[in-house]
Structure 1
Amino acid sequence: MSQAPLVLVDGSSYLYRAFHALPPLTTSKGLPTGAVKGVLNMLKSLRKQYPDSPFAVVFDAKGGTFRDDMYAEYKANRPSMPDDMRVQIEPLHASVIALGFPLLCVEGVEADDVIGTLARSSAAADRPVVISTGDKDMAQLVDGHITLVNTMTGSVMDIEGVKEKFGVAPEQIIDYLALMGDSSDNIPGVPGIGPKTASGLLMGVGGGLVDLYEKLDVVPTLPIRGAKNLPAKLEEHREMAFLSYQLATIKIDVPLDIGLEDLHLKAPDCEKLIELYTVLEFKSWIAEVEREAKRAGQVVVHEEPVAEEAESQYETILDQARFDVWLKKLNDAKLFAFDTETTGIDAQQAQLVGLSFAVKPGEAAYIPLTHSYMGVPEQLDRDTVLRALKPLLEDPGKAKVGQHAKFDMNILANCAIGGDQACGITVQGIAYDTMLESYVLDSTATRHDMDSLALKYLGHATTSFQDIAGKGVKQLTFDQISLEQAGPYAAEDADVTLRLHQVLHEKLTAIPSLNAVLTDIEMPLVPVLARIERQGALVDANLLGIQSVELGDKLVALEREAFAIAGEEFNLGSPKQLGVILYEKLGLPIISKTAKGQPSTAEAVLAELAEQDFPLPKVLMQYRSLSKLKSTYTDRLPEQINPRTGRIHTSYHQAVTATGRLSSSDPNLQNIPIRTAEGRRIRQAFVAPQGYKLLAADYSQIELRIMAHLAKDEGLLHAFRNNLDVHSATAAEVFGVELGEVTTDQRRSAKAINFGLIYGMSAFGLAKQIGVDRKQSQAYIDRYFARYPGVLDYMERTRAQASEQGYVETIFGRRLYLPDINAKNPALRKGAERTAINAPMQGTAADIIKKAMVAVDNWLSASGLDARVILQVHDELVLEVREDLVEQVRDEVRSHMSDAAKLDVPLVVEVGVGNNWDEAH
């Protein structure tokens, strides 16, 4: 049986990160506590993950270190510690010790050195080590025994992870840091050498700093930008490079008066914790400590009992009397949170296991229904409970809040009370969804799941599903989990959802435009998407099977063609073999290299080589395209047909893209290519049932119309208001010809200009796309802006506004934050500026299609017509319509979509009808 790993926590790293990343918290007396709460939450989470492990939490000691003696400017760039952080150090250290964690501070060295010493000592004894840190310097310690985890992001870094992130092996990290320096620690490095150059040099010479300086004559031959000038630069700064090497090296031989055998966790000191938490006003944690003490038979008393948040009252309901009490609580509550527990994450196939509710912070209950493990207590009758809850859950006047409530709505709609598939619960009255509240508040935040939100906004580390169910192939489904664990876990979900809502709702109501996005666009869309997902789309599995065989034949033919060009057989899916064929045997030009220094065979590289008329890359591009279609769609779609409904049910995601656009998965229907015959044939497999037609309604050039509205440019407004072909109109202006004389090539170039400028395309990019030189391309762009000055004014105005306020907005008030808009790095800043120009258009288009979906769904529900939306892709809605209703539905859908927004130009909707999606489109 393998040993539990030694867990070493970089306390100083987490103190800084928690202080800067988490919302500032203070006590009623003004004492800052946010960093303390953030670090303690992280430690509690680690303790759950590694219950049997020895631990050490390591902080920097006061005073200087040997590195300051070595280099007086070491860390000189760092601003002094903020007072609000400094006052949190003492209560943090005391709390860590009271929780039972060994805490280490060693004078004269940094926390990194203590961690390095303990890690290497443990690894030498064949014990695995987990270092919890956010510090990149620690990557030098990684080996077969030592792994890094970043508890704040959930990322794990082993040897391959280091290579992937930095482009060098762990044993080269010190050399890497010595070359590029580290501005945060004021390690000088070699001026002008950044991460790519540093990794390129080390991979090029195949060693470290010493090897590099012994092989300076090789450097000019390396595929690195400016390689010819690097030997002189390296020679000039040789002394500084080796000094940087010493500064970046983590000591692994610090004399310590504590051994690995001393690093065991102790039982928490409940009296001390209550004393500390009382001062810090961590009220819910005081109650938690009291409960733990009570379980352990200890008696603890504190001076200031907490009344309001004294204890989270979580209850598992197993008898009718308690259920009746909770039914009354739910009926009496102005707002309650609810959540479902299920056997899986596919909302169309998972089975309901139980429900949880919260009526106020800390007061929550779980109602188990179908737990099935050995020895499970008797549960309430499933159908009886659901029948009792049905009127409450279906009452549109009873306000409810969920976290990703669409999933719960679908589970309850499919739950088949009394075995009747048509008799589920149609949840109504979802007033709020904490996932969407977080998303609307900041769409650029990477995670909107409950665990992340709880840590970010409540400073609370929730129990994760893996904590109670395990991991991997042995992971239990929820019905197999004991009620002792399942009950508190499920109740916590509802409780945290309610508490999150209270925090997020307050933040949103302070920004009325964002609150309107939530209440007018996102929340009304939730039941619409739930219905679309449950409805699903009918596909012809036989047709897909035929297509799959045909694609397979084409792939075999392309493979033979590739072998013939290469003069030998090889694995087309192997980057290594492909690299040998392309660059060593055929001698094709090397356009770029991987992080490991190998010539790249990525798709973008093959596309560029194909444009240069090299035959093998052309064949490979075709092969990859068809192979993806086969594996992702023609092979996979038949497997995704739901056995109960006979249809495919994609999942739509509202809280993924930064701009507000919906995305879909399982299957992803947004990426089926429509420019190729093979891609269109996949759409032909999406068919109408007997007696029905598919109707596809698509906004025409919606982003260009939004651009005209935002820019207020008279030329563009005139073209759209008079229903002119805007690309031909642009071509006439840019090329100085009459509208009737515009050629096909001129229109195609004008189209590239129209869309290219929206997406921030440069003169170089446009030149490449339309096949002219850069000078000519720039002339076209200059002429465009001269003819459409409002567009240029919009772009300049938007850049300035984004720089000033840090975000841009859609017409409806949705915000996209731009953290890099004022970055010193020109590439990052330019990228943010391009996003700033495009996001209002793409985001407004997303808002409009969402409003249109709600309007169309409302009309369909009110009309009672035999028609329904089955798909949404980009700017298009696809409906399934009974044949005799097609004309009526076509006119109404066009009308509702056209009226979804009032712009300075008309919204034009093109509608097609057919027996399959391709025909309709």
Structure 2
Amino acid sequence: MTTPSDSLPILLLVDGSSYLYRAFHAMPDLRGPQGEPTGALHGMVNMMGWLRDHIGAEHAVCVFDAKGPTFRDEWYPEYKAHRPSMPDDLRAQIEPIHEVVKLLGWPVLEVPGIEADDAIGTLARVAAASGHKVVISTGDKDLAQLVNPQVSLINTMAKPPEVLDIPGVQAKFGVPPERIIDYLTLIGDTVDNVPGVEKVGPKTAVKWLAEYDTLEGVMAAADSIKGVVGENLRKALDWLPQGRRLITVKLDCDLTGYVPQWPSLDALALKAPDLPALLDFYTRYGFRTARAEVEKQLGLSSATAAPAAKTGKAPKAPKPSATGDLFGGDVDPVGEAAGDASANEASAMGGASPASTLTQVDTHYDTILDWAAFDQWLARLHAAQLVAFDTETDSLDPMKARVVGLSFSDHVGSACYIPLRHEGPDAPTQLPLDEVLAKLKPWLEDASKAKVGQNIKYDTHVLANHGIRIQGYAHDTMLESYVLEAHRRHNLGELALRFVNRAGLSYEDVAGKGAQQIPFAQVAVDRASQYSSEDSDLTLHVHETLWPRLQAEPGLLDIYQRFELPTSRVLQRIERNGVLIDADLLRQQSHELGQRIMALEQEAYELAGQPFNLGSPKQLGEILFVKQGLPVVKKTASGAPSTNEEVLEKLAEDYPLPARILEYRGMAKLKSTYTDKLPLMINPATGRVHTNYAQAVAVTGRLSSNDPNLQNIPVRTAEGRRIREAFIAPPGHVIVSADYSQIELRIMAHISQDENLLRAFAEGMDVHRATASEIFGVTPDEVSSEQRRYAKVINFGLIYGMSAFGLASNLGIERSAASAYIERYFTRYPGVKRYMDETRALAKAQGYVETVFGRRLWLPEINSPNGPSRAGAERAAINAPMQGTAADLIKLSMVAVQDALDAQGKATLMIMQVHDELVFEVPEAELDWVKAEVPRLMASVAALRVPLLAEVGAGPNWEAAH
């Protein structure tokens, strides 16, 4: 099945030097057939396989340190002087590691004179600039300085693998990525023999940077810092610039001659593994499981290989351990002392026992090319208790996709494919599309004929495009997996490996990648039949594994049956309804924004004293910090003054040019993202915009909107709100908006059972005014607007785990005052404090929390030994039940309202879901009914300890309905 995706292409950079040491120390005693050391070799092979399978990168490179000195040795002869020499057993594995990484299809890079970190930094910068998302696989904390909106780190040695994006760096180290260099400079790097400030550790460094912002700020304040650490800081002042220089990753290395076609990344495309050469390598070094897998893929018989499946699989890279263990997955310990030792080492690392080969299933797949074969399968469909069904199409857009072929499976191992629109000189004669669909339509529309699919919403759209309203979808494997393990991935390939230990062809296997990818209609029929039949077969197999697990968990079963499956059906209706857009109004707004943008450019030029490229951070930085001498608020990872939004907002408080730049950026984003783009996304067949709601993405159960994203239209500015004016009702209709009032605070009151919160909501009080009254010790009538604002920030801030530091920053007050407010809040609302304490303890004990309705919200980092990671998970544990319960409530509301509309025969259409809000297109004759019934239904979908309240508004457009 093809599904929509809007992700950027990924460049995966592997810090090979970091991992080979860690792999070696994980299994130092593992030996091969000739007694040679192979622990690092096994670790690297399994880690590279895991990365290839889980990251989904098109381009990748494994980077190693080259032999010999680097430029840092010239700067500081003592650099890395205390590092012990490489163990002989590891040195012996370097050459075979390079060999096998290349055989697995990975480009390998070594650049003399620089470190692997510098090559990685340079590649990351170039890739991000060319529109790639960059994932760096490393365990090296120094590379956290490279993290930005397009660059993240993954540490596969952690269990589960640790991902560091911008919030992740902040949570782990206590400082954002742009402060990592300053942080490391202060604490030093003992591994590389780079001194920091004596007796200054992470806590002190974080404290100083929080107070003085930058390393320069800390150095400038050295005279005012008291005690021994202050003396040590003053002693280190002359050294710190050199320390910073050593720690800073170089981002502009010349890789010409080492990366072909540099600075193009084309030569870094991942290649298919060299299976014959891998077979020889694995035999030579004693890789039993991997060797058996390669033999199976090559169609060879072996005493150690399991019988080959009759599936005609294309060769693929050997799979790592299905359990996620990266360094024990290919060791066969049976009968070998070395193998037993390696298994024990893997266990000590928190890994799993060695992986088995893939499950073998005898398969029989039919390609239907005549009516006799079709009639036989049609009879099987009518007789089956449950059938897995999949469509192959000519478009990722579900509103435009048309059927190319169909597949069905009535029991595991058996499936068929009906090609209908394949083309090309070798395409066989196929059954006529319209006649096949006409014969299938009674079965497809029969609600008593149970069906299972993977992401059934997409297939439902595809059949609707052919005039078929499919009924009887009893199960969706994507949603089954989502309910059981929301924190994992839910594509069919992942589910098949994870739950039934089977691997199937990918879409790229049959249609190609990138610019070379062909339409599915041009895929050879026999290849298409294998791929699609396999999809239906795997879907049925996965369901037969997941369904008993759900049945064994009544709470999760309820989430699946009462929330997710009905929501999927309603979302399909919403997407199909679409929303009417006034394209002319958007074009007018786009013109006006363009005029304003040009005026802002001229104002910026006048303030700067010269023309410059407002979109260039480099030119802007030169104007602001060199020519105008504005204070440097933050620096980027490369050490240049930052010009990001946070910096400009701070500078805009005192200087006019940054204010103009901010306004320019805001207007430009509105124009490019909305007023220019939305008219182009109108479906010419319907005259409407049709978004896609992703149901199995957010771990809390919330929905996300894409292509286009209708949930993030800005509403804080007048220009942003005007965009919603273009979401209009057709003649004779109005737009109605209904949303929950203070839903997460009401859920907090319900969950915490705090008497004061419960009373405030029960009495219909303004909860922020009630909170202000409690905190400031005044009557509700005496609460000032400023006190209410403080209380509102506290109410919502504590829901999201805001600390005293965060509250102080948000309110612009001293941290001591913020701490006092929080302490007073908990004194007045002891139930909230009790809830937070008990929830943290429960999360630590069971690894997850739950919503009011039993949705399970997993917290992998809740028992992490890393303090910031653990603290982040604790904050999530507090907020997730509220956000997840809010998501559950809006899903119940969608289903209840749609059921009522259908039961009453109403013509009202539900056209959008935006977090806690539902938006409708309502005939004027039904307006009174909708305004009365929709909020009543939303308020009555669940009985909490506080009343639910839904507010409703109506108008000719979305903005007017608020």
Would you say same fold, with TM above 0.5? yes
**What residue number does 2:534 align with?**
492
Per the alignment, residue 717 of structure 1 pairs with: 758
Q: What letter corresponds to residue 635 of structure 2 in structure 1?
A: K
* Matching residue of 2:780: 739
Verify: 1:630 aligned to 2:671, yes or no.
yes
Q: Rate the CA distance shift 1:144–1:222 in 2: closer, same or farther, 3 A.
A: closer
| SS of alignment partner, residue 558 of structure 1 | helix
Aligned to 1:896: 937
- 2:566 is the alignment partner of 1:515: no
Q: Does structure 1 retain, via aligned residues, the 8 Å contact 2:185–2:196?
A: no
Residues 707, 108 of structure 1: CA spacing in aligned structure 2 closer, same or farther, 3 A cutoff?
Answer: closer
- Which of 487, 499, 515 is the aligned partner of 1:473? 515
CA deviation map 1:461-506 (0-9, x unaligned): 3212122212223321111211122111111111111112122223
Matched, 1:448 2:490: yes
Q: Is the counterpart of residue 606 in structure 1 residue 634 in structure 2?
A: no
Deviates more, 1:137-146 or 1:383-392: 137-146
Alignment of 1:541-690 (within 5 A): 541-610=583-652, 612-690=653-731
Q: Which amino acid aligns with 2:97?
A: I
Checking the alignment, whether the CA contact within 8 Å between 1:347 and 1:407 is kept in structure 2 is: yes
Amino acid at match of 2:942: A
Say if 2:368 is the partner of 1:317: yes
- Paired AA for residue 437 in structure 2: L
Q: 1:233 offset after TM fit, Å?
A: 12
CA contact (8 A) 2:179 2:637 kept: no
Asked if the contact 2:144/2:180 (under 8 Å) is kept, the reply is no
SS in structure 2 of the partner of residue 919 of structure 1: coil
Query: 1:119 Cα deviation (Å)?
Result: 7.9
2:855 pairs with 1:827: no
1:431 aligned to which of 448, 467, 474: 474
Task: Write out per-residue CA displacement over residues 188-220 of structure 1, whole angstroms, 9 at most, x where no aligned residue.
Answer: xxxx9999888569999xx9999979999xx99
Give the C-alpha shift of residue 456 in structure 1: 2.6
2:107 equivalent to 1:129: yes
Matched residue type, 2:587 = G
**Matched residue SS, 1:655:** coil
Partner in structure 2 of residue 341 of structure 1: 392
Would you say the 8 A contact 2:909–2:922 is kept in 1?
yes
Matched ranges for 1:316-465 at <5 A: 316-415=367-466, 424-445=467-488, 447-465=489-507
C-alpha spacing 1:208/1:484, structure 2 compared with 1 (3 Å): farther
Q: Specify the SS of the correspondent of 1:109.
A: helix
Corresponding residue of 1:856: 897
- Counterpart residue number, 2:567: 525
Between stretches 692-701 and 758-767, larger displacement belongs to 758-767
Deviation string 1:28-58 (CA, Å, 9 cap, x unpaired) is xxxxxxx99x969959999xx99xxxx9xxx
What SS does structure 2 have at the residue aligned with 1:687? coil
Query: In the aligned structure 2, how far is the partner of 1:41 from the partner of 1:129?
Result: 12
- Counterparts of 1:495 and 1:41, CA distance in 2: 29
Task: Determine if contact 1:535/1:649 at 8 Å carries over to the other structure.
Answer: yes
For residue 475 of structure 2, what is the amino acid of its counterpart?
Y
What's the secondary structure of 1:872's corresponding residue?
A: strand
Structure 2: 5+ residue stretches without partners = 1-13, 28-41, 63-81, 148-154, 156-161, 163-172, 199-204, 209-213, 223-231, 247-257, 259-273, 281-293, 316-356
Q: Secondary structure at the match of 1:365?
A: strand
Q: Secondary structure at the match of 1:448?
A: coil
- The DSSP-based 3-state class of the residue aligned with 1:680 is helix
Return the offset for 1:904: 0.6
2:314 and 2:509 in contact (8 A); partners too = no
Tell me, in whole angstroms, the C-alpha distance in 2 between the residues paired with 1:42 and 1:817.
Answer: 26
Query: How much has 1:595 moved relative to structure 2?
Result: 2.6
Equivalent residue for 2:303, pick from 275, 290, 298: 275
Which residue pairs with 1:503 in the alignment?
545
- Match of 1:917, SS? coil
Range 877-886 or range 268-277, more displaced: 268-277
Distance 2:758 2:609 in 1: 58
| Alpha-carbon distance change, 831 to 320 in structure 1, aligned in 2, over 3 angstroms | same
Deviation at 1:223, TM superposition (A): 4.7
Please give the residue correspondences for 1:870-909 in structure 2 after superposition, counting only pairs within 5 Å.
870-909=911-950
Listed as ranges, the matches of 1:22-41 within 5 Å are: none
Within-5 A mapping of 1:219-234: 223=216, 229=233
- Which string of whole-angstrom CA distances, capped at 9 and with x for unpartnered residues, describes residues 497-550 of structure 1? 111212222333332212211111001111110011011000100111111111
Which residue of structure 1 lines up, in the alignment, with residue 337 of structure 2?
none
CA contact (8 A) 2:741 2:949 kept: yes
For the aligned residues, what is the CA RMSD?
A: 4.8
1:227-270 per-residue CA deviation (whole Å, 9 max, x = no partner) reads: 9759869999x9xxx9xxxxxxxxx9xxxxxxx99948779487
The answer to whether the 8 Å contact 1:563/1:569 transfers is yes
Matched to 1:796, the amino acid is: D
Q: Structure 2 CA distance, aligned partners of 1:43 and 1:875?
A: 38
* Residues 732/503 of structure 1: CA separation in 2 closer, same or farther (3 Å cut): same
Cα separation, 2, equivalents of 1:291 and 1:874: 43
Secondary structure, counterpart of 2:688 in structure 1 = coil
Q: Which residue of 2 is the match for residue 802 of structure 1?
A: 843
Q: Deviations over 1:817-862 (max 9, x none)?
A: 1122222322222211111111111100000000100011111111
Change (3 A) 1:203 1:452: farther
Q: What is the SS of the residue equivalent to 1:427?
A: coil
What SS does structure 2 have at the residue aligned with 1:275? coil
Report if aligned partners of 1:144, 1:159 keep a CA contact under 8 Å in 2.
no
- Which residue of the partner structure matches residue 779 of structure 1? 820
Q: Taking structure 1 as reference, are residues 752 and 44 closer, same or farther at Cα in structure 2, changes over 3 Å only? A: closer
Q: Distance in 1 between matches of 2:617 and 2:765?
A: 48
Q: Structure 1: where are the runs of 5+ without partners?
A: 1-6, 21-34, 56-69, 76-105, 170-176, 178-183, 185-191, 243-251, 253-259, 293-305, 416-423
Equivalent position amino acid for 2:96 in 1: V
Amino acid at match of 1:740: D
Q: Distance in 2 between matches of 1:451 and 1:815?
A: 23
**SS of the residue 1:643 aligns to:** coil
Name the amino acid aligned to 1:514. L
SS state at 1:661 partner: coil
1:846 maps to a residue whose letter is A
Amino acid at match of 1:434: T
Task: Indicate the percent of aligned positions where both proteins have the same amino acid.
Answer: 48
Q: How many angstroms apart in 2 are the aligned matches of 1:769 and 1:910? A: 28
TM-score, normalization: structure 2? 0.71
2:885 aligned residue (844, 848, 858): 844
Matches within 5 A, 1:79-90: none
* 8 Å contact kept, 1:376–1:483: yes
**In the TM superposition, what whole-angstrom CA distance separates every residue of 1:54-101 from its partner, at most 9, and x where no partner exists?**
x9xxxxxxxxxxxxxx989999xxxxxxxxxxxxxxxxxxxxxxxxxx
Contact 2:360 2:502 in 1 (8 A): no
Change in 2 beyond 3 A, CA 1:40/1:400: farther
Q: Is the 8 A contact 1:705 1:907 kept in 2?
A: yes
> Which digits, 9 at most, give the CA deviation of each residue in 1:790-818, with x for residues without a partner?
11111111111112211111001111111
Q: 1:854 corresponds to which letter in structure 2?
A: V
Q: Secondary structure at the match of 1:918?
A: coil
Q: TM-score, normalised by structure 1?
A: 0.74
How many Å separate the matches in 2 of 1:739 and 1:232?
55
Aligned residues of 1:394 and 1:425 also touching (Cα < 8 A)? yes
Does the CA-based 8 Å contact 1:513-1:814 persist in structure 2? yes
